[in-house]
Structure formats: C-alpha cells, structure tokens
Structure 1
Amino acid sequence: MPLVRRIATGPTCSIGLIGQSGRKYNIKKVLQEESFPPRQVYLATSAEDERKRFILKYIHSVNFDDLQVINNRLRNCARHVRLPQDIIPEKSMFVFEYFTDHLLHLAQTDLSVAARKKILKDALHGIAELHDQDIVHTDIKADNIFVDCKPGIQRVQLGDLEDAAYIPPGSSMIGKQAGNWMWRSPEAHAQGPVNKPSDIFSFALVCIYAMHKRVIFAVGEDELEEGVDPLAVVIERQISYFADEDGLKGFLERLGDNPWVRVFEVTRDGFNQDNPRRPFALWKGVDDDFKDLIAAMTNFDPEKRLTAREALAHEWFKVNK
C-alpha cells in the first residue's frame, strides 16, 4: 500500500503575522498542529497580494539558530533546496514559498516516466548542493521533495532541513538519521556513522518509490509474526535486496564493535533455500540502467556508494526511456 501523509486541516482564519522582512502574512488554514512535540504549519497569503501563498512553519527554538546557520551557508548556492524566504523570530517560524504538491502523492498519479525522472534529477541536484557544502540532510524521503505543477512540472526543491547537519570533512554523526525508518540507511538502523552516503541510500529508496510506486520497506501488520519487530523485517529486506558479500563485509567492518553487528550477522545467516535472497538486480520489469543506478547507490558499504554528483552523471538520468 502507498504511504499516506496525514495532514490535519483547520478552519480558515485571517491572523496577521509580520516577518523580519516587513511583509505581513495572513494565515488562511492550519495544515498541521501538534502540541507535543510542538509543531505548527500554516498556509498563509501575503497581505499585499492575496495571490501569493506561503507556508509558515514552527521551528523548535533549540534548532532555530542552527538551522539559520545552515540556511545561510546554502543561500547563494542551492537552487534546488527549499530555503526560507523570511522568518518570524518571535514565533520561531520560517516562511517558505508554497508548492502545490510533493512526490509522495505525485508518484501515485499518472505522471510520465520523463516527469518522474525530472523530479528525481532535480531532487538529486538538491542533495548534491547540500553535500557540496558538507551538509547532510538525514531525512530524505518522498514527502520532503516539493513540486510545483499544473501545468506540467514547473519547479522541484528538496525541503525540510530541520534535521540537517553540517559535517566537516573527515567527520560523521553516530546514529543520527531522522524521519521514518522506512527510508533509512542500514548504518542509521545500526546507530553507526551517518554521513552523505546515508542520504544517497535513502534517495535510492525514493527513486524506487517514484518509478514503481512501492515503499519497499513498508511493513504491514499482516506481514508480522507475533512478537516480531518491524525493524527486523526491514533489515532482512535490506540485506536481501541490496547486500552482496563484499558490501556487507565492508559495512560490518565499519561498524566495529557496535552491538548491531550481531543482528546483521544473524539476519545474514538466516537466508537459505527456503528463505532465499531476492536481489533488486534480479527483479523483473525494472529497467537495466535503473537497476545499475540503484545498486550503486545502495551498496551496503557506505564508502562504495555513488556520490550525488556521480549519480547525476549516471546513464539512467541521461536517457529518456
């Protein structure tokens, strides 16, 4: 089943807020509102021009200043990343341009192959722009890829940088990959070193979803045996679909004495004649160039995955088929 994003909507209203730029925003609708953790997302219009729509998003005060630093680092070099156009400091809010849709929804429509490729390529440009500045997104997923459409695909940007982090060369974060576990990399599940390759693994899953309308690590309750954690199924599928001997060996070596090593080893050893692996490279109905791209982005050894710039140069993105 496709993943559905639940959005709480509220009645229209006309509360006015003034941004640091001096622009006044009239809130028209509550898109999301949660008290714990605090989260508010509003649809607003410009008081000067009601045709201009914006998204006002609460940013937790703990993250506000750090995110400002990241935004400033990207300001003049990230055409494919959705950055705030204004801020409302007293409300701890960022103001973003409004996009009509996101890939999580659009992938389930009758988009052409060319349109899907364009969305993915533009989103990958966004990842490359982040990585060029040593910024790791950590929450790459389909509903963080925003699209302006009708008529056609007008603009695509990668958004939701709240969990992004600046990681200087030679460094990494331990176990920090945000968002839903259905899009996470193996090293994030193992609470191991997370860096740019982790974004690339997650993006590969987004590519599969965009082209084949499948969230391959979504685990339904009907698929679970009693007492089995969904994460166990996800790890088994990750190894089944993407791990070869060399990649898995390199992955485990990089984890060192991490206690998750044993989990991956037991899962690896659980495949047999009755429970064979199902490598993505052997899936039917999948374009060969696409298989090659996905294999290169999902190598279990993070150091051997394609970079964002290398992925952009892959044949699949060059050929419109």
Structure 2
Amino acid sequence: MAAITRAVGQSGRRYLVERVLQEKPGPLGQVYLASAGNQQYILKSVPKNDFKYFQDMFSDLRRSPYIRVADDAIPDQSIFAYKYFKDHLLSFAQKDTPLPLIKGILRDSLRGITALHEKGIVYTDIKANNILVNWDETDGNTTIQRVQIADIEDSDPEAHASGHVHKPSDIFSFRIVCIYAVTKRVIFAVADEELEEGEDKLAIHLGDSPWTQIFTVIAEGFNKEHPREPFALKDIESEFKDLVGKMTNIDPEGRITAHEALLHRWFADAV
C-alpha cells in the first residue's frame, strides 16, 4: 500500500501526514502521525475488507471513555483517525509516580477491558504500550487526564462475533502489566547478568519458535547461582499479591474476572 501525504475525513477534517510511524506487514498498511489544525492524530490503514467491521465495532464501543475508538474515518482509503496521546504506560511507569496514580491507570485500563468483555470481545493484545495515558505536570504534581486501551482493531474478529472466546486469558496478561507498572520491571525479561559475553538480549527471544525459547530461558534461570524469588515472597503489599494471585489462577474458570478485579480492595485508594 502506497504511503499517503494528505487525507480528508468524513468529519471534513483535513489531515497532513507528518511521518510514517510504522509499516505493517502484508495488507495491514501503515500507521501515520498526522496533524489537522493545531491537533495531532494517528492515522491507521486497515484491510478494505475489514473496514466496515471495524467501523461497526467502534460504534458499538464508543460509549466507553476507556477504549480508544476512531475519531474519524477516511473510507475511500480504508483509514481511521485516532486522537493522539502523549504517552503510554510502558514509559510512564518508569517515572517517579505515586502509587495511587499508577493504580488509577490500571483501574481505568480494567474498565476498558471490562467494557470489551461485556460486549463479548477478547482484547488479546494486552501490554503496557497499548495502555495510552494523557497526563500533565504542574509544580511537580502529576495529573492523569485520560487513560484508554488501544489497538482493539487488532483483536480477533471471531471474538467480537461471539465466537469461542477466552476472557480469562486477558486477565492473565493484564497481571503482567500490573506487576510491571508497580515494580517497574518486566518479569519475563532476561537480566543482563544472565547473558553470555557478547550475547544480544533480543536474540534470546527470536528464532523459529520464540515462545519455546523464552520459556527455556526462564526455566534454565532457576539454579543455585541465580535463584528466583517467588512473587509471593517479594516485598510488595499483601493486597497487591492477593490481586495478582487471583488473576493468575492456573484454572481459567477460577480466575478473577475484569469486573471482579475492579472491585478488589487494592484499588480503593486509586486516583
């Protein structure tokens, strides 16, 4: 698909493309940073055959303020326009941020996931950089303005069509995001001290079967020289351990739901 430089949305808004942010494989097209007036937007092209499906899905989900849906559409080019966000949780979590603010971001993310699940949609792509955050800082005080989960158009269409879905899988993935946001560490990352001299950290996760390699690295990490402390023993508040434990129940049927997680006492002081 050829790159674009300008586009006009159904709203009448005229977009000027500033640069290409991502080249997606096959028919998925490009992601652009664009401007219209003094506002910035993200333009994403989708396969023409999926355009109407996504348009209907966005319309169905528009009532939730915690899900990023398209703000405009360019049907003749099969492109959707989204409001630009300042940051995402992957980078924001590295700031020196009070825990109640982090809890608020995770709570609002759960609200978005809950809204998806209520519509029979499994998100399937829960990760910290898909949680968008608009924030402001004045006199050293950080204020969270809006939180939305993004890239829902990458979810499985069969899930939205009420096919065989696995909502507990979303919760299992979300607990990884929660641990990262609170501890500022990616729990499945390979530590620098575990690498051989000259070994590339990213190479650990690449190959013909990346998931096999990842779990092999994790398994081999348990030894006398590099013991791994169970999460239950880490210096983390007990209520957070309880929430994570409920999200991680090995039995999907026994795993806490998104709605139940929202009611957990750990979120009581979320801002």
TM class by shorter chain equals 0.7 to 0.9
Structure with the larger RCO, 1 or 2 (CA within 8 Å, 6+ apart): 2
| Residue 320 (structure 1) shift | 5.4
Alignment deviations for residues 73-102 of structure 1 (CA, whole Å, 9 cap, x no partner)? 2123x1100000111112211100111111
Does residue 92 of the first structure (1) align with residue 78 of the second (2)? yes
Does residue 309 of the first structure (1) align with residue 265 of the second (2)? no
Question: TM-score, normalised on structure 2?
Answer: 0.80
Structure 2 Cα separation of the partners of residues 231 and 289 of structure 1:
31
Structure 2 Cα separation of the partners of residues 25 and 31 of structure 1:
15
Q: Is the 8 A contact 1:80 1:123 kept in 2?
A: yes
| Residue 66 (structure 1) shift | 2.6
Number of residue equivalences: 250
Question: TM-score, normalised on structure 1?
Answer: 0.69
| Equivalent runs, 1:103-118 vs 2, <5 Å | 103-118=89-104
Structure 1 partner of 2:12 = 22
| Residue 150 (structure 1) shift | 1.8
Structure 2 Cα separation of the partners of residues 119 and 320 of structure 1:
8
Q: Structure 2 counterpart of 1:115, which letter? A: L
Query: Structure 2: which 5+ runs fail to align?
Result: 138-142, 197-203
What is the aligned counterpart of 1:300 among 250, 253, 266? Answer: 250
Structure 2 Cα separation of the partners of residues 203 and 237 of structure 1:
22
Does residue 205 of the first structure (1) align with residue 176 of the second (2)? yes
Structure 1 partner of 2:230 = 279
* RMSD between aligned residues: 3.2
Structure 2 partner of 1:184 = none
Q: Structure 2 counterpart of 1:82, which letter? A: R
Secondary structure at 1:109's aligned position in 2? Answer: coil
Q: Structure 1 counterpart of 2:42, which letter? A: I
| Equivalent runs, 1:1-321 vs 2, <5 Å | 15-34=5-24, 36=26, 38-46=28-36, 50-76=37-63, 78-151=64-137, 152-164=143-155, 165=157, 167=159, 171-173=163-165, 195-219=166-190, 222=195, 231-232=211-212, 234-235=214-215, 278-282=229-233, 284-319=234-269
Give the fraction of aligned pairs with identical amino acids, expressed as a percent. 47
Q: Structure 2 counterpart of 1:155, which letter? A: R
| Residue 139 (structure 1) shift | 0.3
Structure 2 Cα separation of the partners of residues 275 and 228 of structure 1:
27
Structure 2 Cα separation of the partners of residues 92 and 168 of structure 1:
20
Q: Aligned in 2, Cα 1:168/1:149: closer, same or farther, shift over 3 Å?
A: closer
Q: Is the 8 A contact 1:219 1:230 kept in 2?
A: no
Q: Structure 2 counterpart of 1:90, which letter? A: D
Secondary structure at 2:53's aligned position in 1? Answer: helix
Structure 1 Cα separation of the partners of residues 190 and 237 of structure 2:
25
| Residue 208 (structure 1) shift | 0.6
Q: Structure 2 counterpart of 1:217, which letter? A: F
Q: Aligned in 2, Cα 1:169/1:287: closer, same or farther, shift over 3 Å?
A: farther
Query: Structure 1: which 5+ runs fail to align?
Result: 1-13, 174-194, 241-266
Structure 2 Cα separation of the partners of residues 68 and 23 of structure 1:
18
